[in-house]
Amino acid sequence: MEKPKNSPAKYRNISFVYHSGRNEFLHIDDSLGGLKPSERENITPELALSLVHPDDRIYVKEKFIEFLQGSLSGGVDVRVELNGEIHRVRLIPFVIQEDGVDLIAGTVSDITAEWKNHESVLRYANKKNSILNMLAHDLRGPLEIANTLVKRIDTKLEDAAHLRDVRTISSILKESIQLIANLIDRELLETVEVELTMKRMDIVMKISEYIEECKRSGSIADRVFEMSSSTKSIYVDLDEAKFMQIMNNLLTNALKFTHPGGNISVGIEEKQESVVFSFSDNGIGIPDEFHHELFEKFTPARRKGLNGEPSTGLGLSIVKMIVGWHHGKVWFESREHEGTTIFIEIPKIYTPES
C-alpha cells in the first residue's frame, strides 16, 4: 500500500500518522519543516528517535509506553536536533481509526521561543530570589549587631541630646531590619501561593548554577560551598520556582547557623524512581529538644542566627509543604555543635493526583 503523500484532506491539522502494525509512518506533514523531503518520505521510527536529544530518548520511550497503556496525560516536551540546531517541541499523541485499524496520530509544535522566554523569566526570578536571600543574610546580620551595640551605648549615656540621637539611630536600624524581613517574607509567601507548574529538567545543571552563584558572592565567600552528584545529568519533574525556593530556604538556614570558614554542601543521588537531595553544614546543629517540631510553623525551634538574623518560623514548614506537593518526603539528621543535614526525596516522574 502506497503511503499518503504530504497533506491529504483527511489528515488536515495532523502532524503525523503511524501504523504500529506495519511499523511505518503513513503521513508526515509539511509543517515539520526541519525534515528534508527525502527524510519525510522515508522516515522510520528509528530515524525519528535519532532526531531526539540523547538525554531525552529514554524519556520518549517511557512516555510512548504510557500512551499505549492509556495513562499518558497532556503533551510531551522534548528536544530534537534539526538542521544542526536544538529545538524544543511539544508532541500531543492520540488515536484515530481508519478502515477499522487504530492508528497513532499526533500534532507536533515548535515551542523553542516559548521555552526560551520561560527560561529567561525563571533565570532572572531565581537570581532575584538568590540575591534577596543573600541580602537578608549580609545586611540583616550586621544591622542586628549595630543595633545591639547602639543599645549598649544607650545605657551609658547621660546627655539627653546624645541619648535622643542614639535612640533615633536604634529606631532606624530596627525599622531597616524589619523592612528586610517583610520583603523576604512577602516573596516567600507569594512563591508558594502560585499553583504548581511542573516541567522535566536537569536538576544537576540547575543546582550547579545556583552553587556557582553562591561561590561568586564575595559577601558569603567565607563559607566553603560544595556540590556532588551520583551522575552528570539527572532529569526530574519539578516546579522550578518552588524547588529553588527550597534551595534558598535551606541554604539561607545553613548560612545563618554556620560560622565563617564553615562548609555547606549539596549532594544529589539518583535512585531508580526518585532523586535524593542532601543539604549539609558543619554549623551549630539543632538541639535535641527541637527535633520533633522542626518542620512545624511558629515553634520554639525558631532561633536567631549567629549574627542575630531573626526567624520567621515559616521557612522549614514551607520546605515540607513544597516537598509534599511534589509527592516527596523530607527528614533530617543533626547533632548539636557538629552540624545538620536535611534530606529530600522526590519522585523522578510526577503523577498528578486523580
Q: Are residues 188 and 292 in the same domain?
A: yes
Higher-confidence residue of 11 and 80: namely: 80
Give the tens place of pLDDT for each residue, 226-255: 999 999 999 999 998 889 888 888 988 888
Residue with cell 533530617: 332
* CA pair distance 25, 82, nearest whole angstrom: 19
Same domain, 58 and 137: no
What angle is formed at CA 232 by the lines to CA 228 and CA 234, rounded to 5 degrees?
Answer: 95
When the pLDDT of each residue in the chain is averaged and rounded to a whole number, the result is: 81
Residue 158 binned pLDDT confidence (cut-offs 50, 70, 90): confident
Residues 106 and 128 grouped into a single domain: no
pLDDT of residue 84: 80
What values do phi and psi take at 303, rounded to 5?
Answer: -135, 155
Question: What percent of the chain has pLDDT above 70?
Answer: 77
pLDDT class of 7 with cuts at 50, 70, 90? very low
Are residues 99 and 204 part of one domain?
Answer: no
H/E run at residue 269: strand 263-270
Q: Pick the last residue of a domain from 59, 90, 110.
A: 110
In a domain? residue 353: no
Q: Which of 80, 110, 140 represents a domain boundary (last residue)?
A: 110
In a domain, 1, yes or no: no
- pTM score: 0.65
In tens, the pLDDT along 302-353 reads 566 666 555 554 678 888 988 999 999 999 999 999 999 999 999 998 887 6
- The answer to whether position 180 is within a domain reads yes
CATH number of the domain at 169, please. Answer: 3.30.565.10
Residue 128 and residue 168 in one domain:
yes
In this structure, are 90 and 123 located in the same domain? Answer: no
Does one domain contain both 205 and 163? yes
Each residue of 63-107: pLDDT tens digit? 988 898 888 878 899 999 877 888 899 999 998 888 888 899 999
The range of the structural domain enclosing residue 78 comes to: 9-110
Considering the domain architecture, whether residues 106 and 119 belong to the same structural domain is answered as no
The C-alpha atoms of residue 144 and residue 116 are separated, in whole angstroms, by: 41
Both 33 and 176 in a single domain? no
CATH number at residue 16: 3.30.450.20
Q: Give the model confidence (pLDDT) of 108-146 as tens digits.
A: 888 888 888 877 777 776 666 666 666 665 666 677 777
Extract the C-alpha cell encoding 156. 551609658
How many domains does the chain divide into? 2
Instruction: Write b or e for each residue in 9-33: b if 16 or more Cβ atoms lie within 10 A of its Cβ, otherwise e.
Output: eebeebbbbbbeeeeebbbbbeebe
State whether 308 and 246 are in the same domain. yes
Q: What is the pLDDT of residues 175-219, one digit of tens each?
A: 777 777 766 666 655 555 567 788 899 999 999 988 888 887 645
The answer to whether residue 50 is domain-embedded is yes
For residues 230 and 271, state if they share a domain. yes
Confidence at residue 237, expressed as pLDDT on a 0 to 100 scale: 94
CB contact burial 269-280 (16+ within 10 A = b; e otherwise): bbeeebbbbbbb
CA dihedral over 290, 294, 298, 301, signed as positive or negative: positive
Note whether 177 and 322 are same-domain residues: yes
Q: Band of the pLDDT at 282, cuts 50, 70, 90? A: very high
Q: Is residue 2 part of a domain?
A: no
